[in-house]
Structure 1
Amino acid sequence: MTTTQQLADRFREVLLHGTFIANTNYKAQLENLPLKIACKKVGELNTIALLAQHVHYYIKGVSAVFIGNDLEIKDVNSFYFPPLTAEKEWKDFLNIFFNDAEEFATLVEQLPESNLNHSFTDIKYGTYQRNIDAMIEHCYYHLGQIVLIKKLIQFSK
């Protein structure tokens, strides 16, 4: 198995179907979650919906680079999204999120192995491999938050 295939599989694991590291994944945590819970505020924590949108923002931004576009995402914009107000909006977002996650994994698989050590848009951002690894780690970080927030909501009832 190539390194790019391994990276793509690790990414799919955290987003779509794995249980090896966290015993869960985004799809398992979100696909049947009602909008009411996804948008429930717990203290000063971000909502589950906002965390999912935040992760999606980075997936889309890095995917754009993989297909030859500029890196246009900015950390300062990564938590600002219009509020989701209807269950259909939430379900539509989740479908887009999971489809874009699969597209990201496919782009990683298709990346020539030789590109893994190339600079990712600018030397200050490190290599492609570093950015793919960072995406996976970033996803796990927020998945942990989502799991904890769901538990806090469940225990506050």
Structure 2
Amino acid sequence: MKDTSEIANRFKEVILNGTWVANTNYKDQLENLDWKVAVASVQNLNTIAVLAQHIHYYIKGINNVFKGGTLDIKDKFSFDFAPIHSQQEWETFLNKFWADTDEFIFLAEQISNDTLDQVFVDEKYGTYKRNIECMIEHSYYHLGQIVLLKKLLIND
């Protein structure tokens, strides 16, 4: 198996369909979640919606680079999103999140193994491989927060 296929599959697991590492994934946690829970505040913590949008922000930005574009995302804007006011807005966001994730996976699989070790945009950002691996780790980090927030907000 190509390294790029393996790493793309690991990314797919955390967002869309895996249960091996965390016993869950973003789609499992978010797909049938009521928007009111997604935007509910717990003390001064980020909401579930903001955490999901944060991860999506980076996916979309990296996709642009994968397609030959520039890296336009900035950490200082990675939590700045318009509020979600309805179930329809939440579901529209989720559909975009899943579609952009599918695109990320597809584009990552197209990268050659040699390109994985090449500089991603600028040397300060490391290699393509490092950036994809960081997206996996970053996604798991916030997935854990989402799981905990759901437990605090939903009394099953």
TM-score range, shorter chain: over 0.9
> What SS does the corresponding residue of 1:49 show, helix, strand or coil?
helix
Aligned residues: 156
Query: Which 5+ residue runs of structure 1 have no aligned equivalent?
Result: none
Amino acid at match of 1:38: A
Map of 1:41 onto structure 2? 41
Q: Determine what percentage of the aligned residue pairs are the same residue.
A: 57
Deviation at 1:113, TM superposition (A): 1.1
* Deviation readout 1:101-153 (Å, 9 max, x if unpaired): 01101110001111001000000000000000000000000000000000111
Partners of 1:92 and 1:113 in 2: CA distance: 34
TM-score (norm 1): 0.98
Map of 1:146 onto structure 2: 146
Amino acid at match of 1:109: E
TM-score norm. by structure 2 comes to 0.98
- 2:25 is matched with 25
Deviation at 1:84, TM superposition (A): 0.5
Partner of 1:12: 12
Alignment of 1:1-157 (within 5 A): 1-155=1-155
Which residue identity does 2:113 align to in structure 1? E
TM-align CA RMSD:
0.9
- What stretches of structure 2 of length at least 5 have no aligned partner? none
Aligned with 2:154: secondary structure?
Answer: helix
Give, in whole Å, the separation in 1 of the partners of 2:133 and 2:54: 17
